[in-house]
Structure 1
Amino acid sequence: MTKQQNEQITLAPLPQEELAIFKEEIQEAFMKGLQDSFPEAEDSTKMGPLPSEEDFEHSLTVKDSVVRQIVLNGERIGGVVLNINPETQRNEVDFLYIKANAHGNGLGTKAWKAIEAAFPETKVWELHTPYFEKRNIHFYVNKCGFKIVEFNHKGNPGPNIEGEEPESDEEFEFFRFEKVMTEESSEL
């Protein structure tokens, strides 16, 4: 076991002056996932950043948005943007990333446990991930205990996308995941 695997992951507020770097790190991590699945996507200049500037800005301006950096030994190794609903405690993960140089050491799983510990009142966690992100699907289902509860596509866009027209079917194919944390939340 490496020293890094023995270390504690913590969540820390993101200083406002580091927001631009944080966004670049998220976009780099998401683009790497796309390129791993579709090597022909190497030229990302044609498609723009992932997530888009608009999606990133929207996630930060939602009423109950929480932005945290994932820290190991005083160094940011990733980050998360959450939407915490204090009334329903049905909380959403907008973006979660671990830097590429920290992959494969179990740090993502430790980061997820730190997120759960930071928000113990959560009844249900929800998130979306693209259909092609096998690494994400494995992580959320097999490591974190999520279940796939819906497949969103052009014919079933889901509640948050109504009125938006995707350019292609593939652009809009996502799995919706949920993790129920308490028995009473299953009645939601």
Structure 2
Amino acid sequence: MTGTMQDSEVTLAVVDPGDLPAFKRQMEDAFAVAVIEEFGAVTEGSIPSAEDLDHSMESPDAVVLHILCGGEKIGGAVLMIDDETHRNSLDLFFISSRDHGRGLGFKAWTAIEQRYPRTRVWQTHTPYFEKRNIHFYVNKCGFRIVEFFSDRHPDPHSPGPSGLPGGGEMFRFEKVM
């Protein structure tokens, strides 16, 4: 990334349906980096499956966005927007690994908040081992950890044990606006 791109504004654009296969590949690549860093390899179920991604992106409330910097696609987000309750969810969020550590994730999150100013509460989840994500959501974006899902306290919205390393233990975060 060039210095000028690093200083460029981060913008959002709705993903065209024809771009979804490439979008999913970029997301899978970004998620695989954390798994490899923590566990050495990607195994079946250690990142969201294509079916999980499709399910999330095809929901009636889903908004699928490219994250752009200087016009270049650097990441993406899948949001669930509830126009009645204004309790919205960040289902999936990624920045390309080549663009980590440049403050672009925070700029992207800020752009998302600005795009949905009527939001009362944002919610998201991340695996327990994703220390970088936990730091980002809590220390940078102002979320609070409100729940920890494990075998002793399963997520009522999850179908059961996942293939995620660590048995699918997850944190649930909320940010009250």
TM-score range, shorter chain: over 0.9
Kindly indicate whether the alpha-carbon contact (under 8 Å) linking 2:87 and 2:122 is maintained by their aligned counterparts in 1: yes
* 1:5-16 to 2 correspondences below 5 Å: 5-16=6-17
After superposition, the Cα gap between the structure-2 partners of 1:136 and 1:15, relative to the gap in structure 1 and judged at 3 Å, is: same
Cα deviation digits, residues 148-187 of structure 1 (max 9, x gap):
00000122112211x5244688222000000000xxxxxx
Q: After TM superposition, where is structure 1 displaced by more than 3 Å over at least 4 residues in a row? A: 165-169
Amino acid at match of 2:5: Q
Does residue 1:28 correspond to 2:24, yes or no? no
Kindly indicate whether the alpha-carbon contact (under 8 Å) linking 1:92 and 1:126 is maintained by their aligned counterparts in 2: yes
| Structure 1 residue ranges without an equivalent (≥5) | 182-188
Kindly indicate whether the alpha-carbon contact (under 8 Å) linking 1:27 and 1:49 is maintained by their aligned counterparts in 2: no
Fraction of identical pairs, as percent: 48
What is the Cα deviation at residue 5 of structure 1? Answer: 3.6
Kindly indicate whether the alpha-carbon contact (under 8 Å) linking 2:45 and 2:163 is maintained by their aligned counterparts in 1: no
Kindly indicate whether the alpha-carbon contact (under 8 Å) linking 1:59 and 1:94 is maintained by their aligned counterparts in 2: yes
Count matched residues: 175
Per the alignment, in what secondary structure is the counterpart of residue 177 of structure 1? Answer: strand
Q: Which has the larger radius of gyration?
A: 1
Which residue does 1:76 correspond to in 2? Answer: 73
Cα deviation digits, residues 81-133 of structure 1 (max 9, x gap):
00001111110111000001111110001000000000101000000000000
Which residue does 1:147 correspond to in 2? Answer: 144
Which residue does 2:173 correspond to in 1? Answer: 177
Amino acid at match of 2:124: L
* 1:1-188 to 2 correspondences below 5 Å: 2-39=3-40, 41=41, 44=42, 46-47=43-44, 50-161=47-158, 163-166=159-162, 170-181=166-177
What is the Cα deviation at residue 24 of structure 1? Answer: 0.5
- What is the rounded CA distance, in whole Å, between the counterparts of 1:174 and 1:27 in structure 2? 18
After superposition, the Cα gap between the structure-2 partners of 1:22 and 1:76, relative to the gap in structure 1 and judged at 3 Å, is: same
After superposition, the Cα gap between the structure-2 partners of 1:175 and 1:110, relative to the gap in structure 1 and judged at 3 Å, is: same
Which range is displaced more, 9-18 or 48-57? 48-57
Query: What's the C-alpha RMSD, in Å, of the aligned pairs?
Result: 1.7
- What is the rounded CA distance, in whole Å, between the counterparts of 1:83 and 1:119 in structure 2? 11
After superposition, the Cα gap between the structure-2 partners of 1:167 and 1:116, relative to the gap in structure 1 and judged at 3 Å, is: closer
Which range is displaced more, 20-29 or 3-12? 3-12
Amino acid at match of 1:152: F
- What is the rounded CA distance, in whole Å, between the counterparts of 1:132 and 1:86 in structure 2? 32
Kindly indicate whether the alpha-carbon contact (under 8 Å) linking 2:64 and 2:77 is maintained by their aligned counterparts in 1: yes
